[in-house]
Amino acid sequence: MARIPDSFIAALKERVDIRDVISTEVELKRGGRTWVGLCPFHNERSPSFHVWEDHFYCFGCQAGGDAISYIMKKENLGYVDAIEELAGRYGLTVPKEGQEDALSRLRLRILSANRAAARFFHAQLRIQAPDGRQYWNAENPGYQYWKKRRLSDEIIVHFGLGYAPAGWDALRSHLLGEGFSLEELVAANLVIKHERDGRISYYDAFRNRVMVPILDLRGNVIAFGGRVLDDSKPKYVNTSDTPVYRKGNDLFALNFAKNGKTKKLILCEGYMDAIALHAHGFTQAVACLGTALTDRQASLLSRYAEEITLCYDADEAGRNAAKKALAVLEKTQIKTRVIQLDGGKDPDEILNTHGPEKFRALLENTSNDIEFKLLTAREGFDLTATAGKQDYLRRAAQILSYQDAITADLYSSRLAEELEVRKESLLAMIQSHRAARKKKSERDFEQFTPPVMPKNKVSLDRTRAEFPAEAAAEEKIIGTLVAHPDVYLTVGGILNTAHFATTLNRRLLEGLLPRLAEGVEVEIPYLHEIFNEAELSELARMQEEALRMTNPAKLCQDGIEKLRQLFEKREQLRTVFSDDTQFREAFRRNGRLPGAS
Ligand SMILES: [Zn+2]
C-alpha cells in the first residue's frame, strides 16, 4: 500500500469538517454535545448515529471512525482511494510517495529543536556551582521577573518557564552546537532570517524576554510566548505559524487542565493569567494564545469542559473580548459563565492583593454572570419598539431558565417592571424553556445508554467473551491512551502488553505503542495503515468512552493495576491446570483460584 505521509493527513484533517461530509447524505440535528441522525449503515427508525467534531459512532450498529473511515464505508473504497476522494472534495492533491516525507521529518526536527530551546531558556534561570550542583540564579533578570510575579520555584519548573538572553545569537549558537541546522531553526521560527540588499543575516526571534513554552495535548513543545521584562513594546512576542503550530488552534495549559478533577474550566485572556491561576491552585485555567477565541479552540474546549467560566480583564477591552468569546462558545452549547473581577484589573492582581479565597468567591458568585448576559443580550434589540422588546424578553427568558427559581424570580420582577410587562408571562416563558430542555435531555439520556455488543460483533474477538473483566480494563487503558496520549508519559513504564488477555485489545495496544513512544499522532485518521475498519471502529468507541471520564491518568493507572492483578490470578490458575483446555474451563467457571479471596 502506498504510504500517505502524516503531514498530509494532518493537513487534510485540518481542512475536513466531518459534519459537512456526512450532512450531504445524512440529515443531522443537534442533540446535546453531538449531532445526531439516522444511521446510513443500518436500517433504523430512531436515530442512533452520532457525529462529534472529528469522528462518528453509531450506537446501533457500532460503525464508527473519522471522515476517512466514513468515506471508505460509504463509498466502499480502500484507504488510499478514500483519502484521494476526500482530498479531491477539498481541492487538495495527495502527494506522491517520498515527496512529503521531508515535511514529516521537518515537523519532528522542529519539535526537538523546540524542546531543546525550552531547556536552554529554562537553564538560564539556573547556575552551576563549582561542585556541580545547580542553584537558582538570583542574578538572572528572567528569574527576578518570575519572582516579582510571585511564582514559586515549583511553578517555574512545572511550566518550564525560562528566559531568552539579550543579544542576537545566544539560542542560535547553542542549538547549532546541538546539531540543528539553520534551516530547521528558521522553520521553527526560533531564528529569524533577514534579507537586505542581497545580504542575508540571522538573529534570535526571542531576546531579553521571559519565555513560556506552549505545549500541545501530547506534551510536545509546539511554540513559545515571550514577554518583555518592563513596559516596552511589543509586550508579547509569540511564535508565528510553523509546520507544527497554527495560531488559534491550541489553548495554553489545556494539557494540564484537561486531566484535572473538574470539568469546569476557566478561560483567561493570556498565559500569564493562566499561570497565576495555576500557581494559586486553580489548575482548571486555560488561555488563548495571542488571538481572540476561535471556533477551533471552542470545539477543543467542548471536548474537555462541561462549563467554561470566562475570566477576562475588568476593562473595556476585556469586556469586549469576553462578549466575542461568549458568541463563539454559544455555538458549542457548553454552559458559560463570566466572572466579574471586582477588586483588581486582572486575575493576577486579585490573587496577589486579595488572595485565592477572594478569587474563589468571585468564581462561585454566579449572579453577576446573569447581569452580564442580560446586558449583552439586550444590545442587539431595539427596546423602544414592541417587537424588539418581545424578542429581548424571549432571549432573557431563555437566559433566566438556566437559573434557580429564586434568582429567576428576582430578575423577572426587575425586567417586568423595567419593560412594563406582566411578570407572570415572563415566568411562563421561562417555564416553557425549562420543560423543553428537560424533555430533550431525557431523550439524550435514552440515546446515550451504553452500547451493547451485538452478537455478530463478538466474532471479532472470541477471547473477549472469555475474559470480560480483562476486556473492560483493557478498553479503559486503550481508550484513555487514544483520547489523552500524554497519559502515556505517566504510564508508559508500567504498561505490559503481556498482561492483555484479549487478542483484539492486545493487537490494538501493540499497534499504538510505537507511535505513543515516538510521541506522534495516535488519532484515528493516522491509524488506517495499522488497523482495519472494524478495529478502528472499536478504537473510536473506546476513545469516546474515555473522553467522558475525568482524570484519565488515574483511570489508566487503575486499569493497568487491575489488569496486573487479573494476570497474576490467571498465572496461578495456569500452574494448577497445566492443560490449556482445563485452564480455560476452570477460569470460565471461576475467575479466581479456589479458596483465594
Ligand atoms: Zn448504524
Sequence-separated (6 or more) residues with CB below 8 Å from residue 298: 328, 329, 331, 332, 334
Would you say the C-alpha torsion 528, 530, 536, 541 has a positive or negative sign?
negative
Distance 41 CA to ligand 1 centre (A): 5
For residue 552, give the nearest of 448, 500, 481 by alpha carbon. 481
Highest mean pLDDT among 183-187, 319-323, 510-514, 583-587: 183-187
User: In the chain, what is the greatest distance between 2 CA atoms, to the nearest angstrom?
Assistant: 88
Distance 513 CA to ligand 1 centre (A): 30
Looking at residues 120-145, what average pLDDT do you find?
Answer: 93
Angle between helices 170-177 and 101-123 in degrees, nearest 10: 120
Distance 512 CA to ligand 1 centre (A): 26
pLDDT of 584 higher than 50 = yes
Angle between helices 386-400 and 367-378 in degrees, nearest 10: 150
Domain ranges of the chain: 6-89, 105-238, 254-365, 375-447, 455-589
Looking at residues 90-106, what average pLDDT do you find?
Answer: 74
Under a CB-based contact definition with an 8 Å cutoff, are residues 540 and 55 in contact?
yes
Q: How far apart are CA 434 and CA 417, in angstroms?
A: 23
Distance 47 CA to ligand 1 centre (A): 9
Residue 112: pLDDT band by 50, 70, 90 thresholds? very high
Distance 97 CA to ligand 1 centre (A): 35
Sequence-separated (6 or more) residues with CB below 8 Å from residue 163: 121, 124, 125, 140, 141, 142, 143, 145, 209, 210, 211
pLDDT of 429 higher than 60 = yes
Under a CB-based contact definition with an 8 Å cutoff, are residues 94 and 549 in contact?
no
Distance 476 CA to ligand 1 centre (A): 23
pLDDT of residue 459: 45
Distance 488 CA to ligand 1 centre (A): 32
Distance 35 CA to ligand 1 centre (A): 14
Please tell me the least confidently modeled range out of 11-15, 270-274, 478-482, 501-505.
Answer: 11-15
Distance 450 CA to ligand 1 centre (A): 15
Distance 37 CA to ligand 1 centre (A): 10
pLDDT of residue 577: 64
Three-state secondary-structure class, residue 312: coil
- In tens, the pLDDT along 282-325 reads 999 999 988 889 988 988 888 788 889 999 988 888 888 888 89
Looking at residues 580-585, what average pLDDT do you find?
Answer: 69
What is the residue-wise DSSP string for 407-469? HHHHHHHHHHHHHT--HHHHHHHHHHHHHHHHHHHHHHHHHTSPPP--HHHHTT-HHHHH-HH
Q: How far apart are CA 213 and CA 225, in angstroms?
A: 6
Distance 60 CA to ligand 1 centre (A): 5
Would you say the C-alpha torsion 561, 567, 569, 575 has a positive or negative sign?
negative
Distance 501 CA to ligand 1 centre (A): 28
Distance 468 CA to ligand 1 centre (A): 24
pLDDT of 65 higher than 60 = yes
Distance 528 CA to ligand 1 centre (A): 20
**Domain 254-365 class in CATH:** alpha beta
Residue 366: pLDDT band by 50, 70, 90 thresholds? low
Three-state secondary-structure class, residue 341: coil
Distance 89 CA to ligand 1 centre (A): 24
Distance 400 CA to ligand 1 centre (A): 38
**Domain 105-238 class in CATH:** alpha beta
| CA of residue 387 relative to chain centroid, distance | 42
**For the structural domain made of 455-589, what CATH number should be given?**
1.10.860
Distance 49 CA to ligand 1 centre (A): 6
Q: What is the mean pLDDT of the chain?
A: 84
The CATH superfamily label for domain 6-89 reads Zinc finger, CHC2-typedomain (3.90.580.10)
Distance 40 CA to ligand 1 centre (A): 7
Distances (CA, A) of 522 to 6, 122, 497: 11, 29, 18
Residue 138: pLDDT band by 50, 70, 90 thresholds? very high
Distance 96 CA to ligand 1 centre (A): 35
User: How are beta strands 264-268 and 307-311 bridged, if at all?
Assistant: parallel
Distance 151 CA to ligand 1 centre (A): 52
Q: pTM of the prediction?
A: 0.60
Please tell me the least confidently modeled range out of 375-389, 530-544, 576-590.
Answer: 576-590
- In tens, the pLDDT along 527-568 reads 887 888 788 888 888 888 777 777 788 888 889 999 999 888
